[in-house]
Amino acid sequence: MKRESIAVITTLLVAVWAGATFASGASAAPSKFIYETCDSALPGGNPPAADFHVNPGVPMTPFQNCAAPGGSIGITETGPASATFAYWSIGIPATPGGYVETLAVSAAACGLGAANNHTFVYEQGWPGGCAGETQRIFRVRSAPDPYGFFTGAGFNIMINCDGNVGPCNAGPTIWARYITATQVDVTAPRLSGLEGSILAGGVLRGDQDLRVTATDQGGGVSRVELAVNGLPAGQPAVGNCNLATTKNPNVDGTVALTPTPCPTKLKGEWSLDTSTYPFQGGANSVQVCVSDFSTITDANRTCSSPQTVSVDNSCDESAVPGGEVITAQFAGSRKEEVTVPFNTSAKVVGELSNNAGDAISGATICVQMQTQGSRRGPQPVGTATTDARGHFVYKVPPGPNRKVLVGYRVNRFQVARSIRYYAHAKPTLKLSAGEVENGAEIKIRGALPGRQAGGRVVVLQASALHSSRWYTFRRATTNESGVFRARYRFDATTATTVYRIRAVVPRQRGYPWEVGHSKPALVEVRG
């Protein structure tokens, strides 16, 4: 019994040695993976950390041939013995900061006599007899040790000869293999040093970069991933993990060859084209996530806070680099604003050069427009190309008041010039009759141009045929389609008179047109 007590104490010491590290705070969902030793399917058999103990001269011979097909670690009694014992002390360290939850072992013992009454693997009584190899799963811990001492696992492979029972002869053998530990990694991985041009603020264009460092003290970092708008972006950084694949009675699949199979530090670096999927114009969410190593449960995962970045690649990229300065103005006036009659286009001219004033020829100039009052940003409408002198021309089509953005972009660099196009409104107007008697009524109908014409005020004016003065006689409001209607009764015309009737559209909030009026309609009133 004294020898058995020594063996038990040794087992406890092995457990302390295997996990002598202070546990850190556990995560809500720990990762779990299998760490295996002594399996010929693993590189070099991956033998366990073990110490052999026996009195000098005793015929108890250890062996460790885990790398050989069917190999194992054990002890053979090679000659007569009396009142002695020998044992392998095997330690299974825990993953740093975690603990070993279970330990599975395959073992066998053959040729034992009555005097080999304390011969066992892990615990007294197993394996028994010579019935062949058997498997056991031993529960080691179900929670981290709060003091961080007993985190690993340890056991003995022991063979003895009890001199009080009788002598022992050569032949008894005991061995174990396929030693698999369920490692529990309770510490979540971490992210630090998140930086790059994509986080610099402002509007992003073209290629942008992002960098981050991931660390994990348990099983290590298996991968670092980037998501844009919740979708994978760029190639993940994958840790070079020390793994193998095996199949035996205790495990079938991927196993770790060390308690920390993956690197404890891994950098993620990405070069991102913001003009490609999954980026989109406008606001985008960018997030980085790191996963530790796990084969049994979902990997423990830590993500950075989503960061919103603004992307605008709407300006067509030019294949010709070198442009740094762009000008734009309206032809004729050479000003950056123009006001034209209804349904009139305007020509824009400009020049692209570098900072030294040298012309950039063959470059693509993007043109974008934004209707006055629109909540949508500038929208692409066309392009122009610079000539040999760096000049370009673009014709702004007729329409409502607009901001015209003329730009040049190469990758993330963009330079632009904003100019303004204004146009007078011109409503239509129609009278129900061209001749009426004094005391009669006419109906007036018309419409305003543009999509924002609903609910607008229209001023109706009248003037004698050859007079320069106009008098307001009605105000009307357009319906949702931009159509207005009114009536007027002539009751004070004493002599036959020809009147001019027109509709005037004043400048008003939300209606992107300048003050304008319809073509006058004529009506003769007989007094």
284-341 confidence digits (pLDDT tens): 999 999 999 999 999 999 999 999 999 999 999 999 999 999 999 999 999 999 999 9
Provide the percentage of residues in the chain whose pLDDT is more than 90.
Answer: 85
192-223 tens-digit pLDDT:
999 999 999 999 999 999 999 999 999 999 99
Under a CB-based contact definition with an 8 Å cutoff, are residues 222 and 241 in contact? yes
Residue 15 has a pLDDT of 33
Yes or no: say if 465 and 498 are a contact pair by the CB < 8 Å rule.
yes
Half-sphere exposure of residue 287, counting CA atoms within 13 Å on the CB side?
Answer: 14
Average pLDDT of the chain to the nearest whole number: 92
Q: DSSP secondary-structure letter at 197?
A: G
Instruction: Name the residue among 285, 332, 336 with its Cα closest to residue 306.
Output: 285
Closest CA to 23 of 300, 218, 260: 218
For 253-292, how does the pLDDT look when each residue is reduced to its tens digit (9 = 90+)? 999 999 999 999 999 999 999 999 999 999 999 999 999 9
DSSP 8-state code for residue 378: -
Percent of the chain scored above 70 by pLDDT?
95
Q: Is residue 372 part of a domain?
A: yes
Whole-angstrom Cα distance, residue 1 to residue 11? 15
Whether 217 is in a domain gets the answer yes
> Averaged over 126-143, what is the pLDDT?
89
As beta bridge partners, residue 457 has 477
User: How many structural domains are present in the chain?
Assistant: 4
Residue 114 resides in a domain: yes
Q: Average pLDDT, stretch 41-59?
A: 95
CATH number of the domain bearing residue 436: 2.60.40.10
H/E run at residue 18 = helix 2-18
**Same domain? 445 vs 418:** no
- CA distances from residue 317 to 329, 366, 391 in whole angstroms, order as listed: 22, 8, 18
Amino acid identity at 49:
A
pLDDT of 28: 53
Examine the fold and report which residue of 364, 399, 423 is the final residue of a domain before the chain moves on: 423
Q: How confident is the model at residue 56 (pLDDT cuts 50, 70, 90)?
A: confident
Two structure tokens written together for 479: 């319906």
Say whether both 163 and 197 belong to one domain: no
Confidence of residue 8 (pLDDT cuts 50, 70, 90): very low
Residue 444 lies in a domain: yes
User: Do 180 and 200 belong to one domain?
Assistant: no
Q: How distant, in Å, are the alpha carbons of 69, 133, 182, 450, 498 from that of 42?
A: 11, 20, 17, 76, 108
Strand order in the sheet with 265-273: 190-195, 207-215, 265-273
d(CA 482, CA 458): 10
96 shares its domain with 232:
no
With respect to residue 208, please indicate whether it lies within any of the assigned structural domains. yes
**Residue 132 near residue 139, CB atoms below 8 Å:** no
Query: 106 pLDDT band (50/70/90 cuts)?
Result: very high
Rounded Cα distance between 92 and 178, Å, is 13
pLDDT for position 331 = 96
So what's the pLDDT on residue 145?
A: 84
3-state helix, strand, coil in the chain (%, to 5): 5, 50, 45
Q: Same structural domain for residues 32 and 152?
A: yes
SS3 361: coil
61 shares its domain with 39: yes
SS3 letters for 250-279? Answer: CCEEEEECCCCCCCCEEEEEEEEECCCCCC
Query: Residue 45: helix, strand or coil by DSSP?
Result: helix
Same domain, 28 and 168: yes
Residue 248 lies in a domain: no
Average pLDDT over residues 458-471: 95
Report DSSP state, residue 439.
T
Cis peptide bond upstream of 397, omega within 30 = no
**Cβ within 8 Å of residue 315, ≥6 positions away:** 205, 366, 368, 380, 407, 408, 409, 414, 416
Confidence at 17, pLDDT banded by 50, 70, 90: very low
Residue 250 domain-assigned (yes or no): no
- State the Cα–Cα distance between residues 446 and 478, nearest whole angstrom: 9
Together in a domain, 237 and 352: no
- Of the three residues 185, 217, 249, the one that is the final residue of a domain is 185
Cis peptide leading into 278, omega within 30 of 0? yes
Range of the domain at 351: 325-423
* CA gap 152, 101 in Å, rounded: 9
Give the tens place of pLDDT for each residue, 221-254. 999 999 999 999 999 999 999 999 999 999 999 9
The H or E element containing residue 111 is none
Structure tokens belonging to residue 138: 């031993």
| Whether the predicted pLDDT of 100 surpasses 70 | yes
